[in-house]
Amino acid sequence: MKRILSGIALFLAGIGLAMAAVNINTATVDELDAVKGIGPSKAKAIVEYREKHGKFKSVDDLKGVKGFGDKSVAKLRGELSVSDEAAATKKK
């Protein structure tokens, strides 16, 4: 019974990680490329923009990156974040 419960717990933890929003301020090109709607060239453009202009203040700041407009940012909003939720949790 313990193995079954452990398996279920691991499965649910994996789902939670898979559904977590990708932080555009810390993600690598590969992590961004894994997001549906962002290919390798857009992922690279995000990282280059971040290196040149500094951290994003909001997901809407992606509109400054070549290849992103209102529609694409709206579609990606639920998949992306700009905050470090782990650090926010530690501060509490």
Is 78 part of any domain? yes
End-to-end CA distance of the chain: 36
Q: What letter represents residue 31's amino acid?
A: E
CA 5 to each of CA 2, 8, 9, 11, 76: distance values in angstroms, whole numbers, following the listed order = 5, 5, 6, 10, 34
Domain of 62 in residue numbering reads as: 21-91
Q: Strand locations in the chain, DSSP E?
A: 22-23, 80-81
Per-residue pLDDT of the chain (92 residues; tens, 9 = 90+): 767 766 665 555 444 444 579 999 999 999 999 999 999 999 999 999 999 999 999 999 999 999 999 999 999 999 999 985 444 434 44
The number of domains in the chain is: 1
Q: What are phi and psi of 17, to 5 degrees?
A: -65, -40
Is 68 part of any domain? yes
